[in-house]
Structure 1
Amino acid sequence: MTPHNSAFKGDFAPYVLFPGDPARSLHVARNFMENARQVTGIRGMTGYTGTWKGVPVSVMSGGMGGPSAGIYAYELYTEYGVEAIIRIGTSGGLQKNVEPGDIVFALTASTDSAWARQYRLEGNYSPSVTYSLLERAVGIARKHGFPFHAGMVFSSDLFSSYNALGEDSWKTWARMGALVQDMETYALYSTAAWTGRKALSILTMTDSCVTGASLSDGERMIGLEPMIRTALDCVSDSAGTMVDA
C-alpha cells in the first residue's frame, strides 16, 4: 500500500483507465466491466479491477488537476507495476470545429504548470503520447464511427471560467492550435516518460469556450460512452502486445 492507495500489489491490471471523477470510475466498473471489485478508496479516489472482453483491466480516479493525477499515476507505475494508463477525461473546447461529445486524442500537451521543473531540464519540455496506444485508439474510433480529433491539448492549473486574467485567456492557446483544455494530461504524459511507461489521454469535449455549446448533465454520462468504449477496446486490442513501443 501507499499513502494514497490502499490496494495491494497485484490488485491492478497492467492497463488502467484513469478518469478524474470518482463517480466516473464507479460508472465504468458497474456498467462496462465484468466481475469488478473495488481495490482502493483512500481520499475518495476509488479504484476497481475486473475484465473487459475477457481481458483484465482496472479503472481508478485520479482527482482534479495535474498534481493529483501525477501522484496517483506515479504510484500506479512505480508501486503497482502498471504498464499503461489511459486517461478518460472531460475538456473544454478551444476550436469551433470540435463539437460537444467529440473525442480528442492528445498527441502532446502544453501547460502553464510548473510540473516539469522537478526534472531540472534546460528548456521547455513537451511530453507526448505513446504512439502504439494512439494508433490502436484511432483505429477503434474510426471503426465505430466516433467523431474524433487529434492534436495538442492545453493542460492548465486554472479553470478557464475562474481565471483572474479573464474568460478569454484561452484564446492565445487556441490560436497556437490547442484543441481543448484539461488539467491533467501534461502531468500524466510527463510521469509516463519519467518512469518509462505508456500513456494515452482520451478526452471528451463537454463544454465549448468558443460557441458555448455543451453537454447537459443528463447527456454527460451517455456522451462519454464513445471515449470509454474506445479506451476499453484499446486495452483488449493491446492484450499480449505490451512489449512494443
Structure 2
Amino acid sequence: MATPHNAAAKGDIAKTVLMPGDPLRAKFIAEHFLENAVCYNTVRGMYGYTGTYHGVPVSVQGSGMGMPSIGIYSYELFHEYDVDRILRIGTAGGVADHIHLRDVVLGQAACTDSNYAAQYHLAGTYAPIASFALLEQAYQTAGRLGIPVHVGNLLSTDVFYNEPSPLPQWAKMGVLATEMESAALYMNAAAAGKEALCIVTVSDCPLRGESTTAEERQTSFTDMMRIALETACA
C-alpha cells in the first residue's frame, strides 16, 4: 500500500535499498548501474527505482536532506515495505586533517547534535552505530575493488550553517566527516531490528575551504556506488 510519501506497492521495493540524499543521484544509479530498472516513486520528486545488479534485486531511492527527511523515508521502507537493509550513499564534509576531497568514508558510528533519540524515551544517551555485518562486508568489498576507504565516526548535524563552526572540536574528538542523515538512519534501523550502513564521499572540506560542484556530487562519486552495490549483492 502506498504511503503519503511513496507511491510504491508492496513488492515493488527490494529487500536492500541504496539511499542517496539527492534523488537525481538515485536516477543516475538506476540508469547507469541497474538492469531493467523500473521507477516506483516520483512523489515529491523523490525518485525510487528497482532493478537488478548482477542478477540480484536492488532498489535505489532518494532520502532528501536532513534527519527528519531520511527519518520518514527509511521508517516507511523498514516498516511499510519490509526492507531489511538500507545503505546510505551520500556526501559529507571532511573535517579530519587526513580526509581529502573524494575520499570514501564508512560510517562506523554517528555522533549527533539532534534530539532524534528523544522519541525512544531512553534513560541515557544513545550511540547510533552501523550494522557490523554490512560494515565488514563493505570494507572487504572496497579492498577487493581496490578503493581506499576510511572507517570511523561521522557527525550527523541538524545545522548546515553554524557560526561559529563547532567542527574543529568534533575533529579533535576523532570525527572524520560531517553530514546530516546517518544518525537518524542508524536509530530507525535499530528500532526496527533492521540493518543500515552509511557510505559517504567527501564533497567538501569546510575547514580548508575546498569543495566540489553539484554536477560532480551527482554523477562522479561512483566509488561509493560500486562499494554499496557490491555489498548489497554479497
- CA distance in 1: counterparts of 2:174 and 2:208, whole angstroms: 17
Structure 2 letter corresponding to 1:25: A
- The answer to whether the Cα contact below 8 Å between 1:104 and 1:203 also exists between their aligned partners in 2 is yes
Aligned position for 1:126: 127
Select which of 228, 232, 236 maps to 2:229. 232
Counterpart CA distance in 1 for 2:66 and 2:28 is 21
Q: Distance in 1 between matches of 2:51 and 2:172?
A: 42
What is residue 242 of structure 1 aligned with on the other side?
none
Kept in 1, the 8 Å contact 2:91–2:217? The answer is no
**Aligned residue type for 1:215:** T
Paired letter, 1:178: V
Q: Distance in 1 between matches of 2:12 and 2:89?
A: 20
Q: Is the 8 A contact 1:94 1:179 kept in 2?
A: yes
Greater Cα shift, 207-216 or 28-37: 207-216
The answer as to 2:216 corresponding to 1:215 is: no
Could you say what the CA RMSD is over the residues aligned between the two structures, in angstroms?
A: 1.1
1:103-156 deviations in Å (ceiling 9; x for gaps): 100111111111000000011111111011111100111112212101110000
Instruction: State whether residues 94 and 177 of structure 2, in contact with CA within 8 Å, keep that contact through their aligned partners in structure 1.
Output: yes
CA distance in 2, matches of 1:223, 1:139: 22
| Pairing 1:104–2:105 present | yes
- The code of the aligned residue for 1:50 comes to G
Q: Contact conserved, 1:96 with 1:211, CA < 8 A, in 2?
A: no
Does residue 206 (structure 1) correspond to residue 207 (structure 2)? The answer is no
Q: CA deviation at 1:188?
A: 0.1
Q: Which residue matches 2:166?
A: 169
What SS class does the counterpart of residue 188 from structure 2 fall into?
helix
Identity, % of aligned positions: 47
Distance apart, 1:24 and its partner CA: 0.4
1:22 counterpart residue number: 23
Deviations 1:160-212 (A, max 9, x none): xx21x32x321111111110000000000000000000001000011012322
Structure 2 residue aligned with 1:179: 176
Larger mean CA deviation between 214-223 and 71-80 belongs to: 214-223
Is the contact between residue 28 and residue 219 of structure 2 (CA under 8 Å) also seen in structure 1?
Answer: no
Distance 1:58 1:141 in 2: 20
C-alpha deviation, 1:41, in angstroms: 1.4
Would you say 1:145 and 2:146 are equivalent positions? yes
**2:9 is aligned with what amino acid?**
F
Paired residue total: 233
Structure 1: runs of 5+ lacking an equivalent:
238-245
Q: Could you tell me which residue of structure 2 aligns to residue 75 of structure 1?
A: 76
Q: Which residue of 1 aligns with 2:42?
A: 41
Distance in 2 of aligned mates of 1:218 and 1:113: 29
1:27-66 CA-partner distances (Å, limit 9, x unpaired): 0001110000100111111100000011000001011000
SS of match in other structure, 2:108: strand
Structure 2 regions of 5+ residues with no counterpart? Answer: none
Tell me the equivalent position of 1:243.
none
The alpha-carbon deviation at position 94 of structure 1 amounts to 0.6
